[in-house]
Structure 1
C-alpha cells in the first residue's frame, strides 16, 4: 500500500478527491516509465532475427526506426505520463473530450492498422485482468457518486491504456513490421506492473470505503444451536445455496465435536496421553468476548511473527504459541489473563487455524523461506475464524482461496528462476498487505487473491508448457526404447539365422541396427524407408551366402546395386563421405574371400545413453524399478484409472512428501508421468510400481484439489488417529 493513511473500512469514507489523487499518483508512478523500457528488448529481438536469417544488414529499416524512437524517448515518456494523468481529469469531468480512450470515427488509411492494433491490445488487457477490472469498475462508480460526477471510464482501464499508447505514438514513424513488435512489447511491459497496480488500487478503494463490503455473518465458532447462517441479503452470502457446502458444514460440526473431545483430553471417558493434550488445564475464569480477542489480535497483528515461525519450524505447537502470544497482548491492553480465559469458540478458532497451518507444512513441500510468510498470516486467519464461519464451510471463501493461491505460489518454490522469485516476492507482498490492511472486512482477502491469481495465471501457463515438455521428453524416450527393442529383435534374428563373416555381422549389429532405429523413429514400422532398410540387411545376408559359395560375379553385382544404400546406412550413423566409403571398402574386401571364417553371432547388449529416469530418480522413489515389484493388483487397477489432472501425494525414500499431478499417460507403455506444481517431472512409473509405493504407505491418491481442503483432511485424520489410539 502507499503511504496514504487510509486505514480500514469504517462507517465513514475517506474524502473521495484525496483517494482519487492517491490512485493517480500510484498510476503515474508505476506506468510512467513504460515507454522507456520498450526499445532494448525490441532491439535484441531484431538483432537475433537478423543473425538467424544469416543476411548482413537484415532488419536495417526497423533498427533505424527504433533508433529514432530512442532519440525521442524523453518526449514519449512525458507524453505518456500526461495521457495517464489526463485520464483522471476526465474521470472528474474536468475535460469534455476523452482523447485517452480509443478514438472513434474516421482515421487516415496509414493509421488504420495502428488503431486496430490498439483495439486488439485493449481486448487482450481486458481479458487478462477481467476480474480486478470488474471489481474496480464498481468501486470507481461509488467514488464517482461521492465526487458528484457522472460515472466515467476507468482512468487506468484497458481501453484507456491502449488509447494512451496510441496518443503517445500518434506521430511516430513505425514500419509495418515494427508496429506489432512495439505493441507486443508494450503489452509485456504492462503485464509487469498491472497486476500489482490493480491490486493496490482495489485495496485502496476498498479500505477507503468505496465498494460493497462482503456481508458479515454470525461467528464461525458459535454454539451448536447458532451454527446455521442466515441467508445474506440478495443471496450473496458465502456458503449459501450449495448442497456440497452444506455437507461440508455438517462435516465441520463433527470435526468440532472431535476437537472438543481432543482438547478436553477425554475419548470414551478416558484421559488422553500427556503428549496428546493440546493445552494446559485452566481454572474457571471469565470468558473473553469475541471483540476482546479481536482487539488483542489486532494489536499484535503487525508485530514480527517470529514466535509463530519458530512454532511452524517444529520447536513448539503453534496452538500454544498463539495462546501465549494473545495472553501477552491481553496484558498490554489491561486484560488480566489470570482472571480471564478463552471461550470455547476462541479455543476452537485457535486450534483449527493452528492445525490447519501445521498441516499445510506437513502435507505440502513448503520450504524454509515460506515459513515467515505463513507466520504473518496466523493472527489474521484466527480473526477470520472467530468472525466468519464460512472460512471452514465454503470453498469460495476469499480467505480460503487466498491461502490456496499462496500455497500454490510457495509449494516447491526454491526461487531458482526469475519467475519463481517474482512469485515468492508477490506472495510475500500479498501476505504483508493482509497484515497491514485486514480489519475484520474480508474484502481485502478477495482483492489480494485477485492480485496474486493474476500472476499465478501466467505461472500456470509456464507450468503447462513445462508439463508438455516433460511429456514430450518422456514419450521421446519411450519411443526410442521401443524402436531399439524392435531393432534388436530384427538384428538378433539375422545374426543367428545363418553363419556370417565378422564384417557383415559387425555391420548388421552396429550401423544397420542404428539405421533401423532411425527409420522406426522417423518414419514408422510401415514406412517405405523402413522396408528399404530391412531389404538392405537381408540382401547383405544373401551376399555373404553367395560369397561363401564362391559366386564372385553375383557378389560383385549385388554389391554394386547395394553400394548407395550401404553408404547411406553408414552416413546415418554419423560417418562422413570418406569414412562411409572406407567402411564400404572394408565390407567388400571381407566378402572377396570365400574361405573367410563364418559363424552365427549373438547380439551384444547395447548400453543405452544415460537417462535421468534411470539413475537418481529410481533410487529416490523406487526400490525395484520394474513392473514385477510386489503389489496389490486391486490397487494397481486403481492406479490405472488415474487420469491426467489427478493428484497424488508421494514420499521419497527420505520420507519427503510432495504433491504430484498425473500430467500424461503413455500410449505405448501406459506408464504415468507425475510432475510437481512447477511442472517438473517427479517420476515416470507403471501402475504396478505406484501400487507398490502405495502398499509401503508412500503414496496416496488425493481427491482434494486445493491445499486448504487437503490440509483440513489431514487435520481430520490427525484427530481420528488420536482417537483411535485410545
Structure 2
C-alpha cells in the first residue's frame, strides 16, 4: 500500500478492503466449523438436523455469501449503499446502532421487522463486545486521519454497526430460510467480532507506521451550581411481568409492538370495546400499566427537571394507570389529551433551573392543583384531561409573554428588509463601475447603504405604482454614479469642478439615508472621514495619465452582517453577530480527556438549525439563561428565544450556529421529555428481547 498516493484515511480504507478479502473467508471457515461442532454435539435429532441443514446451505452458498459480503462492505465504505424504505430501526443495518431505537420506530414495524431488529441488535452487541478494546484505539487514529482533533465514533466507516449492516444486506440478498440465517448469525457473531478485532489492530498499526497520531477522547465536565447534563436512566431491575406470560417473563420488544399495533389475543374477559382494540384483555391492560410505570420512572430520573417537579409528576400515576385500563395506547397518541397534558407539564418544567426562578412558584402551584384534580374521585376521567390541558395552556409564561408578539412582528420586518437588502446589494454590485471603487466604498454600499435603499423601498407610499421622482428610494440609488466616480482617484482627480459640485449633495443624501435606519453615528462618521479623505486626495492630485487605477482586490471582504435597527434590537432582544465573538465562551466546559461513551452520544446528535420548541441554556457573562426557541422566521434567518422571566433573545442563523460552536448555547432538550421516556422504554424492551435471544 502506497500511503503517499492517498491521504492516510483513503489509504486506510483501501487497506481495509484488501484485508477484508482475507478475513471474510476465515470467518466463513470459522462459522462452518462451529456449525459442524454444534451438529455433532446436538442432544436430539431435531437440533442435529437443524444445524446440519444450516451447514449444508452454508457449503452451497459460501462463495456467493463471501462475494456479496465483500461487495456490500465496499459499498458501505464508499458511501454508496442504497437506503431502503424500511423503518429507521431496521435501516440501522446500514450502520446505525440500535441503541438509538425509538418508540416511533417500533410503531412503524411489522412483526417480521421486530424479530429482525432483535436479531440484529444481538449480533451488533456480541460483535461490538468482542472488538471494542481494539476499536477504541482504531477510532482515535482514524479520526485524526480524517482531520478531527477529537474522536468521532460515528465518522468511522468501519465501525461494527456498518460491518454487521453489510453482512445483513448480503444475507438478505440470498433469500435464505429464516431458521438457517438465525443459526448463522447466532454462531457467527463471536467469530465476526474476533476478526474485526484483528482488523482494527492491524489498521491501527498501519496508521501508526504512517505517522498518524491518535485524536483525543473528550468529556464535557459539569460546572458546580449548574444542572448536570441528562444521563441515561439506569435500572438494576427488570420489569416484573409475572402477570404477562409467565413468572420469568420480561417486557420484550414483541410485547410492546403488539400492544401498539393492537394485535394481542382478544380472548381475555371483559372486553370493553367489542374487541376493537383489545382494551379489555388482561394482558393488554397489564402491558399498558407496565409502559406507563416505566415511562413515569424515566421522567422521575430525568434531572433536567427540578426535583419538586419530578415528584409532582409522579402524582399523576394513579390517574394515568386508570386511563390505561380503558385506553391502553393513549401514551402513543400525541393528540390524546392525557399525553398532551404530560407533554405540556414536562416541557413547562424545563423552563426552570432553580426553585427561586421567577415564575416557578406559580407553575408548581398550578401543577399541584392539576395533580390534586386528577387524584380526586371522578367517573369522567377522560373528560377531565382536556379541561386541565386548557387551563395549563392559558398560563404559559413563556409563549404568552406580552413582549413575544412585538418581537415576532419586529423580526418578520427585519427579515424582509435584510432579504430585500441582499437583492439591492446584488443590484449595486452588478454595476460596471462598482468593482473599481475602493473596498471601503464597496463594503458600505453592499452593507449599510443596501439597508437604506431596502428600508426606503419598503416604506414607499405608493405600492404597486410608479414612485415620484424625488422618492427616497430613487434618490438613494441615483447617487451611486457620483459616489463611485468620486471615490476613484484616477477619475475624480481629472475633473475637480465636478468633484466640488457633487460633494455637498452627496454627503447630505448619505447622511439622510443613514439617519433613516438609525445607523450608529460613530460608524457613520468613520465612513465619512474615509470618504472625505478620498475626495481630498482626488482634489489635490494632478493626474496627467489617462489609465484607470488598478482594480482593487476583493480578497478578505466579508458578506454583510444582518442589520437590525437599535429600536428593533430593543423590541426583540437581538444579539448582534459581531458581539458574539468578543464575549467569553464556556471555558470551564471545553472538551477534556476521555469519556468515549459520552462522545459517541454526542456524535449522534443532529447538526443544523434547532427545531422550534427546543430548550437551551444561553450563556451571557457567567450566567446561564434557560430559554425556549419559540419561533423561527418564515425564511429561517431569524430565531426568537423566550425565558420564563419574560426575557426575549433573538439571533440570526449565523449567530446561533456560532454560539453553539463556542459552547455558549447548549441544547437541553430538542424534543419532548415524554418522547425520551418512551424511547427508553422501547430500548429497555429491546435489551430484554436481546437477553432472551442470547439464552436460546
Report the TM-score when normalising by structure 2: 0.38
With structure 1 as the length reference, what TM-score do the two structures score?
0.36
Larger Rg: 1
Which gives a bigger RCO, structure 1 or 2 (Cα 8 Å, sep 6+)?
Answer: 2
